[in-house]
Structure 1
Amino acid sequence: MRPLIGMTLGTAEDEKKGRLDRQYHDYAEAVAEAGGAPFWIPPLADKEALERILDVLDGLLLTGGGDLEAWRFGEEPHPSLSGVQPWRDEAELYLYRRAREKGLPILGICRGCQVINVAEGGSLIQDIPSLVPGSLSHQQTLPADEASHSVQVEGESLLHRILGVDALGVNSFHHQAVGRVGEGLRATAKSPEDGVVEAVEGRSGSFLLGVQWHPERMVKKAPLMKRIFAAFVEEAAKRRG
């Protein structure tokens, strides 16, 4: 039986119709192709409902989206903050912490990587262009399935074992990034041009990986990216038995 992979939804707000839960289809396709059964999780305030969902999951995928509230890592908000959704922050931080306690495999993508770091007590660089001198552009104009810069992968890391390479090209759609690395995490990939953290992973415990790029958008042109989802789903399948 396929392992059930919970994937977080973002929301769009409409003045007339209210909030619309939504997310890009590529996440579901990548999980399904890797052998998982994708299941969307709305950003609910009801913790009891979230607990019931967690009870049946075999893995948790934290997806991309807008910026996190700066107070959650002890800072004042930068003027560039955008797409902040407090209800989503609250739901995803809760889901992450409870999934971690339960030993669920966790994969974070873009914003999801940042959620992992903040949940573990780390901070974020709130705006790369203004706060990282000499930084390259991390908001590409190329199509999403094309790489725009390189990433160096640390040896003896989970990410290196998964990908089997020391460097790779990635896409890039973010103006924030991991700052101070959270307790229990380590940075295992960086952009060599400016030192921006591109991946974090857990030092111990169950499968925990966060990547700053969007592998789900690159799987068709860059098959190497499939290995990330394959490794994640494989770990989730072990829970399913």
Structure 2
Amino acid sequence: MSTQAKPRPVIGIPCSSYPDSWFTPANGNAVSYLRVVEAVGGIPALIHQTRDAEVLAAHYARCDALLLAGGEDVGPAHYGAAPHPRLGPTNPLQDENEIALVRRALADAKPVLAICRGVQLLNVALGGSLIQDLPSERPDGLNHSRSTDQRDMSFLAHPVALAEDSWLAERLGARELLVNSLHHQAIERLAAGLRVVGRAPDGVIEAVEGTGPGFVLGVQCHPEELWERADPRWAGVFAAFVALAAKA
């Protein structure tokens, strides 16, 4: 009888770009994503940006799940909108790669965890739209860049109310919790295949879950910056996500 341990699941994390004025641009992502995936039993695997469909497919094939991370604004052309004057930097290649990856993962029922830009990209990939700039389009709302203003990614900026029947509320053991906030865009028109399970006091969508087969969770906050310091309950969310990846 074999006692060999089952291989740890591989969690694919698409890269952002880090250009320089003269040096060769870099692809990568924040170490906090990598550390939490390792800590809860997964193997993080960065997926570099590429125009080669065969290379992207090979990256996808080795992954048991996808984690869509934070980063630059999603290009509004993907949801049929003109650029807002306060639209931030975009990365067309990253958008194209991530949309292709998430659509394939959803079709294959591979687990997907989407964070900040990730939840926005997820919504756009499924046909939804975004608020391009909260301060100018929702001037009476909360300051959703408060953690950025504090220069503290773990700063708890505002509460989020969770749907009682949601997976996220059950996993966190809470109907309401405080979260960090580092974004100026948010979901506007919700895509088919998603349901809202969390909102900020001003109504901004803060969490969504999938309604189809497979595990899909998107959060607007940055739990990879909370699990060690501000709110250890998020470690259980990551652990459950990696456990689902191991079964996929």
| TM-score bin (small chain) | over 0.9
Offset of 1:112 from its aligned partner? 0.3
Aligned twin of 2:194: 185
Residues 21-74 of structure 1 show CA distances to partners (whole Å, capped at 9, x for unaligned) of: 121100000111111011111121211111111111111000100101111111
Report if the CA contact (8 A) 2:153-2:225 is conserved: yes
Offset of 1:220 from its aligned partner? 1.0
Offset of 1:15 from its aligned partner? 3.5
1:134 aligns with 2:140: yes
Q: Partner letter of residue 129 of structure 1?
A: P
1:18-37 map, 5 Å: 18-37=24-43
SS of residue in 2 equivalent to 1:189:
strand
Q: Partner letter of residue 24 of structure 2?
A: G
Displacement over 3 Å in runs of 4+: none
Report if the CA contact (8 A) 1:65-1:83 is conserved: no
Residues 91-113 of structure 1 show CA distances to partners (whole Å, capped at 9, x for unaligned) of: 10011111111211000000000
1:32-181 map, 5 Å: 32-140=38-146, 141-142=149-150, 143-181=152-190
Aligned twin of 1:198: 206
SS of residue in 1 equivalent to 2:19:
strand
Aligned twin of 2:3: none
Q: CA–CA distance in 2 between the matches of 1:90 and 1:167?
A: 35
Percent identical: 42
Residues 147-181 of structure 1 show CA distances to partners (whole Å, capped at 9, x for unaligned) of: 11110001111211221210011000000001110
Offset of 1:195 from its aligned partner? 0.4
| Matched positions, count | 238
Q: CA–CA distance in 1 between the matches of 2:195 and 2:246?
A: 25
Cα root mean square deviation, aligned: 1.0
Report if the CA contact (8 A) 1:45-1:87 is conserved: yes
Q: CA–CA distance in 2 between the matches of 1:61 and 1:129?
A: 27
For structure 2, the 5+ residue unaligned runs are 1-6
Q: CA–CA distance in 1 between the matches of 2:96 and 2:80?
A: 15
Report the TM-score when normalising by structure 2.
0.93
Report if the CA contact (8 A) 2:28-2:46 is conserved: no
For structure 1, the 5+ residue unaligned runs are none
Report the TM-score when normalising by structure 1.
0.96
Q: Partner letter of residue 23 of structure 1?
A: N
